Structure 1
Amino acid sequence: MRNHFIVNQCLRDQSMKRQSKMHQFMGKLCMKNQCMIQQILRAKPIIFCIDAIRMKLMVKMNHRRQVAERWKGALVLEVQKIVTELSKNKGMYDVHRSSADMAEVDGPKGRFDVILSERSCSCRKWQVIGIPCHHAAAVICHMRGSNWEDYVDDHFTVTRYKKAYAMEITPLPDKTMWDIEDLNYVIKPPRQARPSPGRPRKKRIRP
């Protein structure tokens, strides 16, 4: 529910940039990474936490590279599912073409104008998300020989996905084999204030 609220809030913001791209599954990805980091940071020294995060990222990036190699289409799997779902709802909208790339679309929530060459719709959802909205999807499905890859932002292509996870993290040996450098000084733990003896005094507010 929170992810839907974030998307709707951005759609209502008229001062947002047209180049911004976001979607609901991005929020899910952030939540998963946050839970992973919270599990690592439980009662461990900072150096071991960093090493544990490095190992998690190394394994995760390798896994996603392997998953991307199995994809056959041009779009990532999540976006491909969204596109398929959009194609099923095309019957709810009436398309009135004005030119090769412009049309008016009547739907349950009113009429909107779509410009395919600019990847824009007056509902502004296409500009924000980077994936065609229901109105644009109705126009695309109305065209013969249309290719969905031409109307989805490049951020959601398999090529971009592979490029994002192309970097390989180098494995490291055990901590007993790490090089220890002499810093010529000792880092002491922070001082902890001791509670004063006796019953603590009450802070009364004088009238």
Structure 2
Amino acid sequence: MEKAKPVVTDYLRRHKKLWTRRQFKTICKVDYVTNNLAESFNNWIKQYKSMNLDDLMDKIRQLIMIKWNQRRKIGKKLDGFILPHIIKKLNEQSRELNLDVSECSEEVAEITLFGGSGFRFVVNLVDRTCSYRQWQVSGIPCKHALAFITALPNAPIDKYVDFYYSIEKFRGAYSALIPAIPDKT
């Protein structure tokens, strides 16, 4: 790449910090980044790949229509504010914490590993921030924020999860109908 595109190579070397997850902008909430999306999609449609393009596209539309309807039905059954799998994950993570919480106030605390490794993370519950930055990037409280939240009396974890993971957002995402059509024409 150096010989073919020296400008690109130079840019990547000068901006290497932009490629780390902790430097991501916090506007887009992602729980994880996966490179298996294309593989999953290809596996989903593999039995239809031999179809003509127009037939394949119509089949994909139909598969998506069915999938969205299934998700709509799931959304109707959900209760609470945040998606259950997110709450379950946070409850599991909160049981395995080995962190010391030093409160500045009811909203701000320093979090360190028991035994004092020297690394300290500042958590602000009002701003929903942690100096570790995972909370801002994902929208889900990191282990440092969880340690602080669970140290507070009667603090519900779901209050600190981004609205992106709400049941209302889930329902909204699948509320539009993909129309049923009589034929591909």
TM-score by length of 2: 0.79
Which residue of 43, 58, 74 maps to 1:35? Answer: 43
Which residue of 10, 34, 37 maps to 2:21? Answer: 10
- Cα 1:10/1:62, change in 2 over 3 Å: same
Q: Map 1:160-179 onto structure 2 (within 5 A).
A: 160-175=169-184, 178=185
Count, aligned residues: 163
Runs (4+) of structure 1 moved beyond 6 Å? Answer: none
Residue 125 of structure 2 is aligned to residue 116 of structure 1? yes
- Cα 1:38/1:72, change in 2 over 3 Å: same
Which residue of 133, 138, 148 maps to 1:129? Answer: 138
Shift of 1:70: 1.7
Moved more, 80-89 or 103-112: 103-112
Q: Which residue of 2 aligns with 1:21?
A: 29
Q: Which residue of 2 aligns with 1:150?
A: 159
Q: CA RMSD in A?
A: 2.2
Q: Which residue of 2 aligns with 1:5?
A: none
Q: Which residue of 2 aligns with 1:187?
A: none
Gaps of 5+ in 2: 1-18
Q: Which residue of 2 aligns with 1:98?
A: 104
CA radius of gyration, larger in:
1
Helix, strand or coil at the partner of 2:144:
helix
Higher relative contact order (CA 8 A, sep 6+): 2
- Percent of aligned pairs with the same amino acid: 31
Helix, strand or coil at the partner of 1:94:
strand
Shift of 1:34: 4.2
Residue 53 of structure 2 is aligned to residue 46 of structure 1? yes
Residue 84 of structure 2 is aligned to residue 77 of structure 1? yes
Shift of 1:33: 3.0
Cα shift readout 1:37-91 (whole Å, capped 9, x = no counterpart): 4543x2221111111011000000000111122222221132122111122123x
Preserved contact between residue 89 and residue 134 of structure 1 (Cα < 8 Å): no
TM-score by length of 1: 0.71
Q: In structure 1, how many angstroms separate the alpha carbons of the residues matched to 2:183 and 2:121?
A: 60
- Cα 1:159/1:17, change in 2 over 3 Å: same
Residue 95 of structure 2 is aligned to residue 88 of structure 1? yes
